[in-house]
Amino acid sequence: MTNLTIRRLDEALKHRLRLRAAQNGRSMEKEVRCLLAAGLSEDGPGPMLGPVAKPASPAGAAAAQAGALAGRRVLLIIGGGIAAYKGLDLIRRVRERGAEMRVILTYGAQQFVTPLAAGALAGERAYTDLFDQTTEFDVGHIRLARDTDLVAVAPATANLMAKMAAGLADDLASTVLLATDKPVLIAPAMNPQMWAHPATRRNLARLTADGVRVIGPNAGEMAERGEAGVGRMAEPGEIAGALERLLGAGMPHPLKGQRMIVTSGPTHEPIDPVRYIANRSSGKQGHAIAEAAARAGADVTLVSGPVAIADPPGVRVIKVESARAMLAAVEAALPADVGVFAAAVADWRVAEAGEQKIKKGTGSAPQLALVENPDILATVARHPTKRPRLVIGFAAETEHVIAHARAKLAAKGCDWILANDVSPRTGVMGGDANSVHLVSEGGVESWPRQPKAAVAQSLVERIAQALGPRQ
Ligand code: C5P
Helix (H) or strand (E) holding 423: none
β strands within 122-227, DSSP E: 150-156, 184-188, 213-214, 218-221
User: Is pLDDT above 50 for 335?
Assistant: yes
Q: What is the mean pLDDT of the chain?
A: 86
Q: Is the alpha carbon torsion for 306, 307, 310, 312 positive or negative?
A: negative
The superfamily in CATH containing domain 259-350+369-467 is CoaB-like (3.40.50.10300)
Choosing from 345, 373, 398, 406 the residue with most ligand 1 atoms within 8 A of its CB, the one to mutate for a pocket test is: 345
55-64, 295-304, 336-345: least confidently modelled range: 55-64
* 422 contacts 440 by C-beta, under 8 angstroms: no
Q: Is the CB of 373 under 6 A from ligand 1?
A: yes
Q: Does the pLDDT value for residue 80 go beyond 50?
A: yes
Write the CA distances from 125 to 134, 250, 444, integer angstroms: 12, 28, 57
> Quick one: which H or E segment has residue 26?
none
User: What band does 464 get if pLDDT is binned at 50, 70 and 90?
Assistant: very high
pLDDT at 320 over 70: yes
Q: Which of 72-86, 352-366, 437-451 has the highest mean pLDDT?
A: 72-86
CB 122 within 8 A of CB 89: no
Report whether pLDDT(459) > 90: yes
Q: How far, in Å, from the CA of 400 to the mean position of ligand 1?
A: 17
Q: Does pLDDT of 38 surpass 60?
A: no
67 C-alpha to ligand 1 centroid (Å)? 43
Closest atom, ligand 1, to C-alpha of 412: 8
Query: 134-167: per-residue pLDDT in tens?
Result: 665 556 788 899 899 999 999 999 999 999 999 9
Residue type, 379: T
Locate the ligand 1 atom nearest the alpha carbon of residue 379 and give its number. Answer: 20
The reported pLDDT for the residue numbered 33 is: 74
State pLDDT tens for residues 249-291. 666 789 999 999 999 999 999 999 999 999 999 999 999 999 9
Give the separation between CA 50 and CA 169, rounded to whole angstroms: 50
**Residue 303 Cα, ligand 1 centroid: separation in angstroms?**
14
Distances (CA, A) of 93 to 29, 71, 122: 15, 15, 10
375 lines ligand 1 (CB under 6 A): yes
Q: Clarify whether 218 is annotated catalytic.
A: no
In the chain, which residues fall in CATH 3.40.50.1950? 68-246
Distance 409 CA to ligand 1 centre (A): 11
d(CA 221, CA 23): 23
Q: Is it the case that residue 462 has pLDDT exceeding 90?
A: yes
- 248 membership: H or E segment, kind and range: none
Q: Which one is predicted more confidently, 53 or 11?
A: 11
Residues forming CATH 3.40.50.10300 domain(s) in the chain: 259-350+369-467
* Single-letter residue type at 120: A
Kindly state if the Cβ of 323 falls inside 6 Å of ligand 1.
Answer: yes
Torsion angles phi and psi, residue 393, rounded to 5:
-115, 170
- Going by alpha carbons, the residue nearest to atom 13 of ligand 1 is 377
CA distance 352 to 93: 61
Residue type, 242: A
Residue-level pLDDT at 134:
65
Nearest CA to ligand 1 atom 5: 395
Identify the CA nearest to 181 among candidates 210, 138, 220.
210
Least confident range of 56-65, 116-125, 219-228: 56-65
Q: Enter the pTM of the model.
A: 0.62
- Segment 171-204, tens digit of pLDDT: 999 999 999 988 899 999 999 999 999 999 999 9
Atom of ligand 1 nearest to the CA of 373: 21
Counting residues of the chain whose pLDDT is more than 70, the rounded percentage is: 85
376 lines ligand 1 (CB under 6 A): yes
Contact 141, 179 (CB under 8 A): yes
CATH 1.10.10.10 holds for 68-246: no
Q: Which atom of ligand 1 is nearest to the CA of 404?
A: 3
Model confidence at 67, pLDDT cuts 50, 70, 90, reads confident
Atom of ligand 1 nearest to the CA of 397: 3
Q: Which of 247, 196, 248, 240 is nearest to 217 (CA)?
A: 196
pLDDT exceeding 90 applies to what percent of the chain? 62
CA of 376 to the centre of ligand 1 (A): 7
Q: What is the pLDDT of residue 138?
A: 59
CB 341 near ligand 1, within 6 Å: yes
Bigger pLDDT: 131 or 465? 465
Give pLDDT, residue 58.
Answer: 37
Query: How sure is the predictor about 21, in pLDDT bands with cuts at 50, 70 and 90?
Result: low
Q: Which of 191, 203, 279, 373 is catalytic?
A: 279
Q: Pairing state of beta strands 390-397 and 416-421?
A: parallel
Cα dihedral across residues 373, 378, 384, 387: positive or negative: positive
Q: Which residue has the higher pLDDT, 15 or 442?
A: 442
Establish whether residue 109 lines the binding site of ligand 1, counting it when its CB lies within 6 angstroms of any ligand atom. no
Nearest to 35 by CA among 298, 274, 27: 27
pLDDT tier for residue 438 given thresholds of 50, 70 and 90: very high
